[in-house]
Homo-oligomer: A and B are copies of this chain.
Amino acid sequence: MWTQKEITLKSRSRGFHLVTDEILGQLPELKGIKIGVMNVFIKHTSASLTINENAAPEVRVDFESFFNHAAPENEPYYRHLDEGSDDMPAHLKASILGCSLTFPITNGRPNLGIWQGIYLCEHRNYGGSRKIVVTINSE
């Protein structure tokens, strides 16, 4: 059984944002699934997806600080400059974190750990709304 759906996530500020509920709220199909796999793919090169701690909000603040140190703006060796100083670091962060998630579905919901949530990682200052494609394949 297959379900595929394009979802537009609402526009968010630069940073790391918990979007588990925004995504799952648009997938009533999940309820009937006993065993399956879900792929969430973001159709952008300057935003990304990851799964991490869903409780303490400071974790998401520290993610933003860390990745700004790890892939800084205005490195003297950057050549891709025309789209603003936040653009090249955004591409780098997007590839470090990745553009898709694949996780199990069990008995009607994503089989994540109790502390795991889905982050939208918005790497641009003004990224606008972001499109994801969710594909569910199940028994």
Q: Are A79 and B97 in contact (CB under 8 A)?
A: no
User: What chain B residues lie within 8 Å of A111 (beta carbons)?
Assistant: 6, 41, 43, 133
Query: In the bound complex, how far is the Cα of B75 from the Cα of A87, in angstroms?
Result: 25
| Residue total for A at the interface (Cβ-Cβ under 8 A) | 61
Which residue on B lies nearest to A4, using beta carbons?
Answer: B35
Q: Are A88 and B62 in contact (CB under 8 A)?
A: yes
Which A30-52 residues sit within 8 Å CB-CB of chain B? Answer: 35-37, 39, 41-45, 50-52
The residues of A with any CB-CB pair to B shorter than 8 Å are: 2, 4, 6, 35-37, 39, 41-45, 50-53, 56, 58-59, 61-63, 65-66, 69-71, 75, 77-80, 82, 88, 91-92, 94-104, 106, 111-116, 119, 131, 133, 135, 137-139
